[in-house]
Amino acid sequence: MSDLWTVDPREALRAGEEFDLDSLDRASTFGFIGDKAAAETLTAERGKLLSELQERLFANGRAGGKRNVLVIIQGLDTAGKGGIVRYVMGMVDPQGVALRSFGVPTAEERSHHYLWRIKKALPKPGLIGVFDRSQYEDVLVVRVDNLVDQDVWEPRFAEINRWERTLVNGGTTVLKFALMPSYDEQARRLMERIDRPDKRWKYSTGDLGTRSKWDQFQEAYADVFRRTSTEHAPWYVLPADRKWYSRLAITEILTRALIEMELKWPRVRWSPEVQRRRLAKTMSPELYAESAGIVQKSIDASMDVSLEAAELRDAHADDATRESAIAAIESRRAELEADLATTLEDKQALLEEMAPDLAAATAATIPTSADAIAVDEKVKDRAAKKSKKKDDSKMSKKKKKSKK
Amino acid sequence: MSDLWTVDPREALRAGEEFDLDSLDRASTFGFIGDKAAAETLTAERGKLLSELQERLFANGRAGGKRNVLVIIQGLDTAGKGGIVRYVMGMVDPQGVALRSFGVPTAEERSHHYLWRIKKALPKPGLIGVFDRSQYEDVLVVRVDNLVDQDVWEPRFAEINRWERTLVNGGTTVLKFALMPSYDEQARRLMERIDRPDKRWKYSTGDLGTRSKWDQFQEAYADVFRRTSTEHAPWYVLPADRKWYSRLAITEILTRALIEMELKWPRVRWSPEVQRRRLAKTMSPELYAESAGIVQKSIDASMDVSLEAAELRDAHADDATRESAIAAIESRRAELEADLATTLEDKQALLEEMAPDLAAATAATIPTSADAIAVDEKVKDRAAKKSKKKDDSKMSKKKKKSKK
């Protein structure tokens, strides 16, 4: 599926100093060669991976890790910000997401520095913070509506860059997404809000006032992209006429960012052997014997995620990157298998202490190292199939090319 | 599908003064006659309805409405509280949900009345607030661990009842859910957390200390149910050995509670005719002509929701209730059709002003009152099919009974 991306969407969509917003085709689907249905399938598939990676981030936060993610979403009315929150962030556990919308500042907020309310809303460690609008309003609407003079808003570009640098140094991954529909598409969406009784609550009579300043807003956005898309906190500018594309692209970029954080399940400070014995004392031997089949599941699940992650990571990687990704999976698998073996041995030993007769009877159903080898084969098999599939699709792409 | 509920789950699961927790079968699926797969399908189906109803609640909050919902989730470790947040609340727009977990009180929280931190976390109008643990910790863990004397915690039952009364009077629908797995099931789940590397972060060595006070906690919960399950804020006590059942039951109860709020899309203070004209001035006639097909969609969608709601509402209703539900749908449909007719006429008139030639060419594609009648037939058709299906299933139930 990820072969439908011909390039890494982070490369395709990232704004640089030379970024030219005027020539952005708002209906394009840069880098993605699938249609709407394929995009929705891929979004849902990535969502599962995103969801597990988010849980790892959350678990690390609980264990004292400092890392987190800040997703900033900017765009004019009807750009689709709400849809990103609903359909992208809606794919992960709500407990792991800290959502914050920034509207017109309150009297209290206005009495402080413009970053005051932003800093107060930063996500805690382990969370994905999502800002629906952000500090960038203070160089966008504030500039277009002349709320402050240029000598006030102009220095903010540098100030925001410096401040985001400190965020990133503190362990936050900052991802900035701008949703950019065309002028005509905005009209279509506003008309729908006026016409449909179930959408009217979203419309405000002020929306047309903002629309009348379209060109000034585009100019202000263009400056934001040129001046605040930094190495540490890049802007991804999304053509947003097709909602399915912007949702897919953000899901994909967020997933890839989480993959690169190389999140592992945190190590615990207690001994599984000791706790297992304490808990077993409160169980009947029959109930305890039942609990042996569970370990396998987690290893299979973790391997699935690792494989998908590797597949993504080496989708457009050179050979060295690919080799190091494979080495990382191999080492992770070895670690998990060692854990599995220890757990199984300990569980069986404990059952023998608790109920020797039951232990003898259930020994056959408790996974053994032979099963571990079977898992090993299964994983290799799957990896081989994936890699074959990929080669096939490369082949067919080549074939198509040579036909042209 | 909702025929799989043989009784309203609110009736089946609600605790009264005589509630006997000891005799609760923690593995039962009270009132539901389907299996796991059917439960998951029904949960997803209800989720869509829940999601639209939540949006209506949110829209009303934006329009100045005061109503909101407070969902309280209680349960011991591994009871499945996190799963409810993730899989039930995860079905609705994250923007409409205000999630709050209450852990061990901080020093600041301890320096205040026990309701202080609770009151601070109440959801704003239009939101569904979700409390993962709540004020009830102050008559549960606080009691079991002897953190205060009985003459301190005992009066809290009445105090909480009075306070919840004021909440309800202020426009909040309060739903309290207690997840009650069995002692053995808790052991299974704790063992899984110890055994699985990807679950270990959820385990705390303190969990076994809490487990050792199982009986005291059950006694404290039993008192909570007997003394704080009020008319205005009832407790629903869920057998929680099967996660699919507790998730379904909470989804169903929450959905039915939202249905009874009779939420309509809020009326707007602006004129669609005026705004449509203002917006049309920024569009080409071709673009404007395109926008006529949209209105129909919303009416179909709204009718779907109304039908599902009615189906739920009269699932176990007497004839009078059923008749009034049907009358409510009929009046709502009439209202929507009037809106549709006005909108279509206005759109066509405006197009004739803007581009008479285009208006003549596209008149055929713009829905007419004949189309409105077609919708009408479709809706009646669907309602008839649903009602037939229901009669059939009643018939077959009767047949089954008579065979016995």
Q: What are phi and psi of B231, to 5 degrees?
A: -55, -45
- Note the pLDDT tens digit of each residue in B240-293: 999 999 999 999 999 999 999 989 899 999 999 999 999 999 999 999 988 776
State the DSSP H helix or E strand holding residue A69, giving kind and residue range, or none if neither: strand A68-74
Is the pLDDT score of B142 beyond 90? yes
Question: How much is the ipTM here?
Answer: 0.88
The H-assigned helical ranges of B35-182 are 36-62, 81-83, 107-110, 116-120, 141-144, 150-153, 156-169
| Integer Cα distance of B325 and B323 in angstroms | 5
% of chain A surpassing 70 pLDDT:
85
- Note the pLDDT tens digit of each residue in B51-69: 999 999 999 999 999 999 9
For the whole model, what pTM was predicted? 0.89
Taking the CA of residue B295 and the nearest CA in chain A, the distance in Å comes to 6
Q: How big is chain A, counted in residues? A: 404
User: Token pair of B126, please?
Assistant: 């239009």
Whether chain A has a CB inside 8 Å of the CB on B83: the answer is no
- Cβ neighbors of B393 (< 8 A, separation 6 or more) are B3
> CB–CB of B94 and A94 under 8 A?
yes
Rg (CA), chain B: 26
**Residues from chain A contacting residue B301 (CB–CB below 8 Å):** 198
> CB–CB of B191 and A294 under 8 A?
yes
Angle between helices B319-354 and B294-313 in degrees, nearest 10: 180
Angle between helices A369-403 and A294-313 in degrees, nearest 10: 30
Q: Which of A62, A101, A195, A297 to mutate to test the interface with B (most CBs of B within 10 A)?
A: A195
- Rounded to whole angstroms, the maximal C-alpha distance in chain B is 84
Q: Using DSSP bridges, classify how beta strands A128-132 and A68-74 pair: parallel, antiparallel or unpaired.
A: parallel
Per-residue buried b or exposed e for A98-130, using 16+ beta carbons within 10 Å of the residue's own CB: bbbebeebeeebeeeebeebbeebbbebbbbbb
Which residue in A has a C-alpha nearest to residue B347's C-alpha? A195
Whether chain B has a CB inside 8 Å of the CB on A281: the answer is no
- Note the pLDDT tens digit of each residue in A305-353: 777 777 777 666 677 777 777 777 778 778 888 888 889 889 889 999 9
Q: CA angle, B29 as apex, B28 and B32 as ends, to 5°? A: 155
* Chain center to CA of A287: 39
**What average pLDDT does range A25-48 have in this prediction?**
96
- Note the pLDDT tens digit of each residue in A68-116: 999 999 999 999 999 999 999 999 999 999 999 999 999 999 999 999 9
pLDDT number for residue A337? 81
| Integer Cα distance of A358 and A93 in angstroms | 40
> What's at B66, amino acid-wise?
K
CB nearest to B201's CB, from A268, A290, A302: A268
> CB–CB of A184 and B287 under 8 A?
yes
Q: Which of residues 291-310 of B touch A (CB under 8 A)?
A: 291, 294-295, 297-299, 301-302
| Integer Cα distance of B118 and B109 in angstroms | 10
- In the A/B pair of chains, how many CB contacts fall below 8 A? 171
